[in-house]
């Protein structure tokens, strides 16, 4: 039996992130953390080349639904 502070269900949401036309990359993404290393705040992935797209990137094209990350 769950206590009163246990969460048993979640609500999923999504966020639209706008990029310049045909220029989707980690470098322009607001989820890129650059304090001591380049890391995606969404996936935790360390990004070696910020001019590309991380392999675990969950972003998808709004119109076509095509995913950008190769492993996601």
For residue 65, what are the domain limits?
18-72
With 70 as the cut, is the pLDDT of residue 72 above it? Answer: no
Say how far apart CA 67 and CA 55 lie, in whole Å: 10
With 80 as the cut, is the pLDDT of residue 3 above it? Answer: no
Say how far apart CA 59 and CA 72 lie, in whole Å: 9
32 in a structural domain: yes
65 in a structural domain: yes
How many domains are there within the chain?
Answer: 1
**pLDDT tens track for 18-70:** 999 989 999 999 999 998 899 999 999 999 999 999 999 999 998 898 899 98
Q: Phi first, then psi: what are they for 28, rounded to 5°?
A: -100, 0
33 in a structural domain: yes
pLDDT interval class at 7 (50, 70, 90): confident
6 in a structural domain: no
């Amino acid at each position: 039996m769950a206590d009163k502070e246990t969460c048993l269900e979640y609500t999923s949401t999504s966020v639209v992130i706008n990029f310049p036309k045909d220029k989707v990359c980690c470098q322009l993404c607001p989820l890129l953390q650059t304090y001591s290393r380049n890391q995606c705040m969404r996936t935790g992935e360390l990004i070696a080349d910020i001019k590309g797209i991380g392999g675990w990137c969950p972003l998808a094209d709004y119109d076509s639904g095509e995913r950008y990350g190769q492993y996601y």
